[in-house]
Amino acid sequence: MSTNQDQEGANYQYKIESLIQPIRDDLMSGAAEQALRAITLYQALTAMVKDDSLDEAKETLIVASKALVDCQPAMAPLFQLANQVLLASDQANDVPSLIDKVDQALTAFEKRLCDSASKIADLAYDLIEPGGLVFAYSFSSTVVSCLLNARARGRYFRVVTTEARPSMEGRKLASRLAAGNIEVIYTFDNAMGLVLGNCCAAFMGCDCIASPGVVNKVGSWALAIACRELNVPLYAFSGTEKFVSDERMFEFEKHERPGNEVWDAAPKGVAVLNHQFDLVPFNLVSGLVSEDGILGESDVQKYASRIDVHEALRI
């Protein structure tokens, strides 16, 4: 490699890093918002590589895609988007066709995200009993949109939620819903059993889906067994952009944060665990509310087995 190429490589790396940094630093936005931002990132990349050789251009996309997936390892749509982009780029035999294929993949992904939200909101509307009480767990922008949409369409209902320790996403959920004119009952996570029995349904978001089940905020498993015990149907809300390969799902499951976020002054001899996710097996979920309808266990297996992962993104 010449000095010029070295220089150019370093320059690319710097550009990729500066495009990814804002996505890495944002700990508040949901996966859908982050995916829309990542689409802009790929648009910038295709503009960058237009004078490179096909191999160089593909390599740039691979480096950027790996960095994107690693920067937020728990955001399934980033993985799906990166995977779609790389699979599309493999079909190109020159740079203009690569740019074209990637562009098509980005457009299709963006359309899918947007259509998905409104389709899911329609399905959710019918799951909310008029005058009923709905349990919603943790913060999911999909669940929040569905509830606000149903209220805006004139359905009256109340929502019960719990804190969702340790990050207290339940407070964000309660505040958003209350601001949207939905009455909220709020309690702590271990009091779930006291309120759930009065609910007509329980809703949760979803961080990723694979054949073993749905991965979501820790506490979802406890919610699921409580729902089964009390005969409350539990729905996971998610577009199909959250399907990942099984090996990728196990990466999610391992995801841990610092113990001091749970207890900042734990005495010597006390090890603090701060796992982020629970795996809820499909047999505990009444349905996956997606843009393709309310999916049952057998449908989900079909989607899960259909995932073709680009070799650069295999673990």
φ/ψ of residue 98, rounded to 5: -60, -45
Q: Which is nearer to a copy of itself, 169 or 291 (by Cβ)?
A: 169
Nearer of residues 230 and 309 to a copy of itself, judged by Cβ: 230
CA dist 300 and 30 (Å) reads: 23
- Give the shortest CB-195-to-a copy of itself separation in angstroms: 7
State the nearest-atom distance from the C-beta of 283 to a copy of itself, in Å.
Answer: 12
Contact 187, 162 (CB under 8 A): yes
Q: Helices 54-71 and 3-25 meet at what angle, rounded to 10?
A: 30
Residue 208 φ/ψ, nearest 5 degrees:
-160, 165
Q: How far is the CB of 121 from a copy of itself (least distance, A)?
A: 21
In the bound state with a copy of itself, the residue whose beta carbon lies nearer, of 48 and 168, is 168
Rounded to a whole number of angstroms, the minimum distance from the CB of residue 165 to a copy of itself is: 4
Query: What's the closest the beta carbon of residue 274 comes to a copy of itself, in angstroms?
Result: 7
CB 169 to a copy of itself: min, Å: 11
Chain residues binding a copy of itself by CB under 8 A are: 162-166, 171, 174-175, 177-179, 181-195, 218-219, 221-222, 225-226, 229, 262-263, 266-275, 278
Nearer to a copy of itself, 112 or 171 (CB): 171
State how far the Cα of 205 lies from the Cα of 239, in Å rounded to an integer: 10
Tell how strand 201-204 and strand 234-237 pair up.
Answer: parallel
State which residue, 9 or 132, has the beta carbon closest to a copy of itself: 132
The residue written with tokens 């399934």 in the block is: 76
Which residues partner with 289 through β-bridges? 237, 294
Q: Which residues pair with 187 in a beta bridge?
A: 162
Please, what is the minimum distance in Å from the beta carbon of residue 312 to a copy of itself?
Answer: 31
Choose between 86 and 280: whose C-beta lies nearer to a copy of itself: 280
| Shortest spacing between CB 25 and a copy of itself, in angstroms | 22
Q: Are 126 and 149 in contact (CB under 8 A)?
A: no
206 neighbors 265 (Cβ within 8 angstroms): no
The span from the CA of 17 to the CA of 49, in Å, is 15
Q: Which is nearer to a copy of itself, 47 or 270 (CB)?
A: 270
Q: Which is nearer to a copy of itself, 105 or 218 (CB)?
A: 218
Instruction: Give the up-direction half-sphere exposure of residue 229: CA atoms within 13 A in the CB hemisphere.
Output: 12
Rg (CA), the chain: 21
d(CA 270, CA 263): 10
299 contacts: CB under 8 Å, gap ≥ 6: 288, 292
d(CA 182, CA 224): 24
